[in-house]
Amino acid sequence: MADVKYPISGSCQCGGVSYQLLAAPKAVVACHCRECQKLSTSAFSITAFVEEENIRFNGPLASWSRVADSGNVNDAAFCPTCGNRIYHYSKAQPGIIKLKPSNLDDTRIINPTRHVWVS
């Protein structure tokens, strides 16, 4: 999106975790799998794929992991105070942050180019 100016700030609901997104995401995807539905309490969850070098976090983060049906491990980082999910990451994809962009101050980048697990 050409009119979006970087960096864009974001934070969890309580403000205990904040971040700066320094550059545009590589992709924005809407996932409709059951786990993403549980995460978002909606029909899908939005994920922005960001290169790790293009994001800076401030504040304490807690983590949680689960094994997906595929056998891959999905790791999540969230605010330990309000529980707001900030991003996901995978050791199988080093250097990539799967940002949950709904907590950005400017959400105009939330324009999914793909929908996955729609069946």
Q: Residue 61 corresponds to which tokens in the numbers above?
A: 């983060």
Residue 10, Cβ neighbours under 10 Å: how many?
22
Mean per-residue pLDDT over the chain, rounded? 87
Structural domain harbouring 53: 8-116
Question: DSSP letters of 25-46?
Answer: -SEEEEE-SHHHHHHHTSS-EE
Average pLDDT (57-76) is: 87
Is residue 1 scored above 60 in pLDDT? no
Identify whether 111 is part of a domain: yes
Look at residue 33 in the predicted model and tell me its pLDDT.
Answer: 73
Residue 69 or 83, more confident: 83
Share of the chain above pLDDT 70, in %: 90
Identify whether 46 is part of a domain: yes
Matching residue, tokens 């994809």: 93
Structural domains of the chain, count: 1
Is the distance from CB of 6 to CB of 21 less than 8 angstroms?
yes
Is the distance from CB of 95 to CB of 105 less than 8 angstroms?
no
CATH number of the domain where residue 81 is located: 2.170.150.70
Identify whether 25 is part of a domain: yes
Look at residue 42 in the predicted model and tell me its pLDDT.
Answer: 73
Identify whether 2 is part of a domain: no
Is residue 2 scored above 60 in pLDDT? no
Identify whether 1 is part of a domain: no
Strands 73-78 and 85-89, sheet pairing: antiparallel
Identity of the highest mean pLDDT range in 42-46, 68-72, 90-94: 90-94
Residue 35 or 95, more confident: 95
Identify whether 87 is part of a domain: yes
